[in-house]
Chain A
């Protein structure tokens, strides 16, 4: 398969990006300053992330579409107001996760943001579950850019007046160079920020403006340290077809009034809700500076294996190693002592609350619409 490039590829290159293949796309892992500097820039100032590899799925329809989508997703879509977003899952019947995604209700239907590696599969699954009268389009004429960090709202406000008023997990239509763009207040860093869906032929111009106004390009490397500090899951690592939202400790994303309702995976989700689960996703903090990476085995004090790490790195803002993983339910309480097998040695660590780094989301002033 050919490696794909996003519309911003040449801009990344111009700014000294090192590239990696990610989900079939040649994506910047870092720029000249490196991962830690980029991480800190996002935490302290403002960072720009090209996430155009992600899928932007648009489904057109009215109330009957909402009814049909409720049969797929565990989210109360009827309660969503126009321009409101919710984190949700595309699940298997057994509760395993095909993808985690963000659903936004828009004027003529829904916009769903999908993970790059999952988007084609998601499209075919959703299509197969919907009546053929609904039109589904995976838009590759659109780019997706995130701007994250405390200074981002002021930077973006200068370019697109009005964005400051958007509330967290809400969006709205704006205009840039006479064209419609769609902006949501959301992100994947634990910082306040926005995600902008914009036509490919305008994305370079927008990003150049953001840089002019003081934001900086950030690669996938820092995106990973930022999201892990924020306790956010990376699909294919922390969640996958073998983990359910309950096991992943993402219960909050399942609408309470829908537990007894019908959606794909409902039966198993309800059972797990009632009976509990055997394994749970937890935060893990090694005592020392040793980094325990993905696939590291987790042991209890009696040397029994109780789980495995699914993401682990060095967290620049917490200035130490951090990890997430699954442990047997009995060991999931905060401050439980565990041991991680790194290079043949058992290193002591503790189960801890997520996030490692406190969220800084801004609620926003008022919803522009309501």
Chain B
């Protein structure tokens, strides 16, 4: 498993072979508050980098979920649709959103590492 990478839209990505696992960051989950609804992309659909592929809603508001890299959706995490509160309790672990068959590995290089992301998150929320 590779190093975890982060996007400016507060998604995280891990890569194993040609499969990427994507979710939203702890920082994003905290900002959203209690998550009560999740919509994920359809299995088999093609996700295009930086485009909306899903939605998370808290009691306060709805937020789009973007994919930080392109690829075919090969798996989705039904457990966070059934119980969206899992995203608040384990956002960067068991509450992953979807898995992609990566189309272009070079897209991963455009993402931030943890240190860069944490700096970015701190700056954008202050």
A contact set with B: CB distance below 8 Å: 29-30, 34-37, 39, 221, 225, 289-291, 293, 313-314, 316, 321, 343
Contacts and interface: CB of A to CB of B under 8 A. Distances in A.
B33 A314 contact: no
Contacts, number: 36
A290 B59 contact: no
Given A221-B60, A291-B62, A293-B62, A314 B36 contact: yes
| Residue among B33, B34, B39, B60 with max Cβ neighbours from chain A (10 Å) | B34
A289 B59 contact: no
A35 B59 contact: yes
Interface in B30-62: 33-34, 36-37, 39, 55, 57-62
Given A221-B60, A293-B62, A314 B37 contact: yes
Nearest to A320: B36
A302 B36 CA distance: 31
Nearest to B84: A289
A35 B62 contact: no
B55 A343 contact: yes
Contacts of B57: 291, 314
Contacts of A30: 33
A29 B31 CA distance: 12
Q: In this complex, which of A29, A36, A221, A343 has the most chain B Cβ atoms within 10 angstroms of its Cβ?
A: A36
13 contacts: A29-B60, A30-B33, A35-B59, A35-B60, A36-B34, A221-B59, A221-B60, A289-B36, A290-B39, A291-B57, A291-B62, A313-B59, A314-B59
- Chief secondary structure at chain B's binding surface: strand
Contacts of B58: 35
Interface residues of B, number: 12
A39 B36 CA distance: 14
A39 B59 CA distance: 11
A36 B37 contact: no
A291 B63 CA distance: 12
Nearest to A345: B39
Contacts of A289: 36-37
Task: Report, nearest first, the 7 A-B pairs whose CB atoms are least far apart.
Answer: A314-B36, A36-B34, A35-B59, A34-B34, A291-B57, A314-B59, A289-B37
Contact of A221 (B33, B55, B62): B33
A126 to B, nearest CB: 34
B16 to A, nearest CB: 31
Given A34-B33, A34-B34, A293-B61, 15 more contacts: A29-B60, A30-B33, A35-B58, A35-B60, A36-B36, A36-B59, A37-B34, A225-B59, A290-B37, A291-B36, A291-B37, A291-B62, A316-B59, A321-B37, A343-B55
A180 B99 CA distance: 63
Contacts of B59: 35-36, 39, 221, 225, 313-314, 316
